[in-house]
Structure 1
């Protein structure tokens, strides 16, 4: 069941923001899998080998925030790209794994889609 569309895992604890992101990213031609927190995201990543990119909020409840999740993903699944976002904290380059992208909230949909296309190699 491999799709030609890149698969994006969205990790966002606020339901409405998560659903909004899913809609925007699907409309841009990606396959999207939503997760409510880092534990859910890790369970999905463990079960699926087709995820290209993790788009995560930094501030989340649960066992790890988005920065810890980003480092965990990079350690365990090095090829997966990471985009982190937050409206409250600004992530410096040293806070995220190399090659990751930080998008401050509120971001423009076009900016998000361009970033995702750039990282997944879709022109």
Structure 2
């Protein structure tokens, strides 16, 4: 990866399930992305506040805590409209109107190739 941070492709992965979060991080790292991680929405907002180079938020919808992934996506879109949104869930399937800023959705379990292609498209 280039030392020029303006060329970095940074993804923030948010999931309360450690195994699922680590798997997503491994897949993205292997695909050449820089990855940050958070276990819930509050932790994600703290990271976003201190990392200006995040280009994609990849978040689970169903999470415990002060807000779920849809609420997190709405909050991030209002704070940082430059961040592309990709949501995932194995329980709910939001319609396009529910995801801010033409964000994308991928159902769990997802194919790794499909997941990486969705993230790559967000940076294109």
TM range (shorter): over 0.9
Q: Paired residue for 1:98?
A: 101
Distance apart, 1:3 and its partner CA: 5.9
Describe the SS at the equivalent of 1:19. helix
Q: 1:14 aligns with which of 17, 22, 25?
A: 17
The answer (yes or no) to whether the contact 2:8–2:53 under 8 Å persists in 1 is no
Residue 50 (1) aligns with residue 41 (2): no
Distance apart, 1:34 and its partner CA: 0.8
Looking at secondary structure, tell me which structure has more helix per residue: 2
Gaps of 5+ in 2: none
Cα RMSD for the two superposed structures: 1.0
Distance apart, 1:66 and its partner CA: 0.2
Distance apart, 1:99 and its partner CA: 1.7
The count of residues paired between Structure 1 and Structure 2 equals 121
1:74-99 deviations in whole A, cap 9, x for unaligned? 00101100000000001111111022
Q: Paired residue for 2:41?
A: 38
